[in-house]
Amino acid sequence: MHEWSLAIEIVKIAEKELKERNAKKVEEVFLEIGSLNNIVVEQLIDAFEIAKKGTLLDDAKLYVEEIEAVAFCNKCNKRSEIEPPFIFCPLCMGNDVKIEKGEELHLKKLTLEF
């Protein structure tokens, strides 16, 4: 149900933005989601289709850009892509890592119609 609450949140934020900028409707919503958020993109899009009904986002389309998780290993001094939910270095299997990418979760851009 993680995806469902996120979809509702997106609708709320976009509606607020639309009102603040006196737009007529929202056409496109661009989201950036790091893989460490454990969001299933297909489920999020399905939830968005339901959440937007009857709102000012009725015709809006949701685009999701997924960001691979990257960690820097303090032991190997190397950066690698990691596979959530496993947070360890794939080279040495150590867990002395610093997450550099993958925790992002934000609304990147909205296309509005005025």
From the list 29, 62, 89, 110, which residue makes contact with Zn ion (rule: CB under 5 A)? 89
d(CA 93, CA 89): 5
In the complex, what is the shortest distance from the CB of residue 70 to Zn ion, in angstroms, rounded to a whole number? 13
Binding residues with Zn ion: total (CB under 5 A): 7
In the complex, what is the shortest distance from the CB of residue 34 to Zn ion, in angstroms, rounded to a whole number? 20
In this complex, which beta carbon is closest to Zn ion, that of residue 38 or of residue 95?
A: 95
Q: What Cα–Cα distance (Å) separates residue 65 from each residue in 16, 31, 39, 69, 87?
A: 22, 6, 12, 13, 21
From the list 76, 99, 105, 107, which residue makes contact with Zn ion (rule: CB under 5 A)? 76
From the list 73, 82, 102, 110, which residue makes contact with Zn ion (rule: CB under 5 A)? 73
> Is the CB of residue 41 less than 8 Å from the CB of residue 64?
yes
DSSP conformational letter for 69:
-
